[in-house]
Structures are given as C-alpha cells and as structure tokens.
Chains A and B, each alone.
Chain A
C-alpha cells in the first residue's frame, strides 16, 4: 500500500531535494525547514512523515499569507547556516528569538512562548526542587536569586542539554561550576539517557518535556524546579528568516498576528501541548 503510494509519488517527484513539484503556478513558493526531532513541535511519525504543532501552524500561516509552502527536515546544528545558504527560506523549529541569533538572521513576531527548566525522574531527590516562574528580561535579579538557591541541590549532578541551544548557553552560564553538563544532538537522546538514569536532569523547554512525559518512557519523569523565560533563554518562538527577505517577514508577521488574534494558535497549542502557548504581549 505504502509502496504503491510511494512509487506513484516518486514518479511525479524529484529526488535529492533539488526542486519541488508545481502545485499552483500563481503562488510564491516558500520552503520551510524544521528539525523533525522535537516533539510535539515537530517530529517524524512511524510513517516517516513530519508532524507536529509547527507543521499544522505552518500550513495555516502559509494559507493566510498565500504562499505555496513545503516543509523540509534539517538537523538542528546546521539549521541556520543552511538558511543562509538558501537551502530553504524559513525556519519553524521551536527556535527562540535571541540577541545572538538576531546578529545573523531575522525573526517574525513570536508565535509561541513557554518556560524552560528541568525535567527529572520522579524518584530523584531533585524532584523536590522549589517551583516558581521567573522572567530573565523583566526581573533578572529575582531569577538569579532562584538560580543560586538551586545550585546546592545540583552540586555534582549530571545535566543533559541539546547542543547549540539557548538552554545550553543558559545551563553553562549558571551551572557549569557545580554540575557536569553533557551535550546531545537531539532532545530525544537526552530523554533516553534520563530514562536510563545516566542523567540527573535534562534542561529544556517545558513544552518538549511535557511531550516526553506523555510517552511510555516518560511516565516516570516530571518537571521540577522553577520555569524560566525571557532574556538569554529567548523572547519567544518565531519564524526565522534571512535578513534580506523583508517581504517574507511582513507577510509572516501579518499571518502570525491574525492567527494569534482569532485564537488559532491557542487552539493548535492546546491540541499539541495541552496548554495555551500564545505569546503574551
């Protein structure tokens, strides 16, 4: 069944990602890159297909902006350079707006925002870390006070973080001197190691942590400690674009705003994350 379908597709289709089929000649073609390993934002299902919040939202945004869009998968560590190299035109991969990324690329207004923090095993002593919500932009002093209170608990522990992320920069800034930090290529890999007990905690977005907790391996895991957002952790998740593509930015900005205003983002994020991830202005 699948093979027949594939054969059919393959015949109509081009290999090597060099070009795509023309669905509608009128509309502008936009290629969007995603990672495909960051559930529920974007991931690969058992049919080998991309799926997730950003895939649905992307389709919605493209419909509003009247773009003819297609999604491609790209590894996280090469996702910005390949945008620069024009392999695609936009990034929707759970990518946060940060000052450092803004030096090389541009972002639309944020389409989602959420907290970052620790995920641990329920049986771990770290499960008792105190909670709370802190914003690094609005009240850095309070956030750093909370971080300092966590330090004694994390002493000598092993933290897993995905490489080249805001989470890694944050963990290295505040916890490098007390804990061992291990870098992983994908969040799926550090989740496997947390489940196996090789890590004491992972550092990442709460949204991704919640998705892991829904799976069979994640049933013994929980989010512990405070949630942090803003500042070096990013100003929300947005579409990443090349700086010169100002027209794309205008079109996507309008699409994002209208999707926020009419509650589409609320609806989609509640479907995929079980919570409303609409950015609060």
Chain B
C-alpha cells in the first residue's frame, strides 16, 4: 500500500478526510462558543463579586480568578474530565439522588473552558463597568431610572462598548483553548441505525478539529498533512473572528465621536 498523496488524503467523501476535518471545524466552533458563553456567565458573577461592597464575595471572586488564571488550562481539563462526573454525583447525592450521574463529554469540556475563560472575562467585565462614567448613572437615577431599565439603557450598552475589544481577545483565547479538549477526546455522537437482522448500531463520532487531525494522523500515519490542515483551518477561524469583532466594534461605537 503506497502512501497517499496530499490530495488523495484530503478528498471530500468516504475516501478522504476533508469532510471529517470540515465537520470537526464546526465542532471546534461549537465548543468555543459554548465555552465562551459559560465563561460569560462565570465572568459576570465573579465581576459582581469583585465589585461587591462585602468582603466575602470579593474574596471568593479573587480566589477564583487567581486560581484559574494561574493554573494550566490542561490541568483544569483533566480535573473536569476525570472528576466531573464524580463531583456531580457527589453533589446530587447530597440532595438525595441515588446512583451515578454521567456528564456528557461535550458539557464537561465546555464547562472546563468556560471556567477558565470566565476568570479572564471577569477582569474585562469589571474594567468595562468601571469605565462607565458615574455621572451618567447619577443622571439616569435623577431621571427616575432604576434597576433593570438603568442596566438596559445606560450601563449595558456602555459595558458592551468598553468591553468589546477585551472580549475579542478572550474569544481568540477560547478558540485556541478549545484545542485542548482534543487531549481528552470530547466528541458529539451521531448514531446510525442498521435495520434488518443485524442489531448493531454503529456510531459516527465528530471530534474537534485537533482531535480529528490526531485520529486521521494515527489512522493514515501521515501526521504532517493533517496537522498542517488543522493549522489552516484554525487560521481561517481566527481571521474570520478578527474581522467579525472589528465589525462589532464599529457597530457598538456608532454614534460615538471618533477621536
């Protein structure tokens, strides 16, 4: 069996790996988006903690950002991968549930990325909130705005505007960090039902981009081809996001005096 050429390996369809690599890019994007959104939740909570007047939330938020910015991301992924189900089971048993609870791989991986990216997002959200001029909030209060309306009309749009560049950087971070889930092999499963007398149900596994490159490299023993393809796909993702965030920034700062 002679080694296949680059173009033979990179065909679309059952003979080649291009279709698998493309779907894997989609999954990488899905992992990154969910990880980023989880991070937004954790980051917002931690930023509220840091801005709190009380000592305990501040202390807790500090511990959170210090630990998850100071510990390697891969270690966090291992923690979630090996400890995730055990942790959920332990918590559920405290509330009276019985037996084991398995966490789906996708959730474990994106939660791990969310926890880490949330630690970075905390600082961006906090910084953006502090950048809102206090006078504007006072003025809005004087107009009788409060609570939700104040948040939606005055604070929200400005936090978005000030925070967007920082968030763009974190998004790039998350996109690249999502590659780490390849180490533990997070996958989304699709099942294919075989009817007839054969009872077996085959499964098709979608892996993230790097994992897919890994699998293909192992299967074909042509690692260079697949890792270089992964590099190209990642560059497409990061370049497209740079462009998208630039557009978003233009939109968020519309109507603002350009200095």
A50 close to B202 (CB less than 8 A)? yes
With a CB–CB cut-off of 8 A, which chain B residues contact A62? 199-200
B81-129 interface (Cβ within 8 A of A) = 81-82, 85-86, 89, 99-102, 104-107
With a CB–CB cut-off of 8 A, which chain A residues contact B102? 82, 85-87
Q: Is the interface of A mostly helix, strand, loop or mixed?
A: mixed
With a CB–CB cut-off of 8 A, which chain A residues contact B206? 48
Interface on A for B, CB 8 Å cutoff? 1-3, 6, 9-10, 12-18, 20-21, 23-24, 27, 36-37, 39, 43-50, 55, 58-59, 62-63, 67-75, 78, 81-82, 84-87, 185-186, 188-189, 191-192, 195, 215-218
Number of A-B contacts (CB under 8 A): 148
A2 close to B200 (CB less than 8 A)? no
Q: A72–B192 Cα gap in the complex (Å)?
A: 12
With a CB–CB cut-off of 8 A, which chain A residues contact B86? 85
B219 close to A16 (CB less than 8 A)? no
B193-229 Cβ-contact flags toward A at 8 Å (1 or 0): 1110011111111100000000111111101000000
Number of B residues with CB within 8 Å of any CB on chain A: 52
B204 close to A6 (CB less than 8 A)? yes
A48 close to B104 (CB less than 8 A)? no
B81 close to A78 (CB less than 8 A)? yes
B175-204 interface (Cβ within 8 A of A) = 183-185, 187-195, 198-204
Known A10-B190, A23-B195, A37-B218; contact A17-B105, beta-carbon cutoff 8 A: yes
Selected interface stretch from B10-18, B136-144, B235-243: B10-18
Least CB distance from A156 to B in Å reads: 27
Least CB distance from B198 to A in Å reads: 6
Cross-chain pairs A/B with CB under 8 angstroms, 23 sampled: A1-B14, A12-B193, A15-B190, A21-B191, A21-B193, A23-B194, A23-B199, A24-B199, A37-B218, A44-B219, A48-B204, A62-B200, A63-B199, A68-B199, A70-B200, A70-B201, A73-B187, A78-B81, A81-B85, A84-B100, A85-B86, A215-B221, A217-B221
A191 close to B221 (CB less than 8 A)? yes
With a CB–CB cut-off of 8 A, which chain A residues contact B256? none
Least CB distance from B73 to A in Å reads: 18
Known A59-B198, A85-B100; contact A9-B192, beta-carbon cutoff 8 A: yes
Check B2 for interface membership: any CB of A closer than 8 A. yes
Least CB distance from B102 to A in Å reads: 4
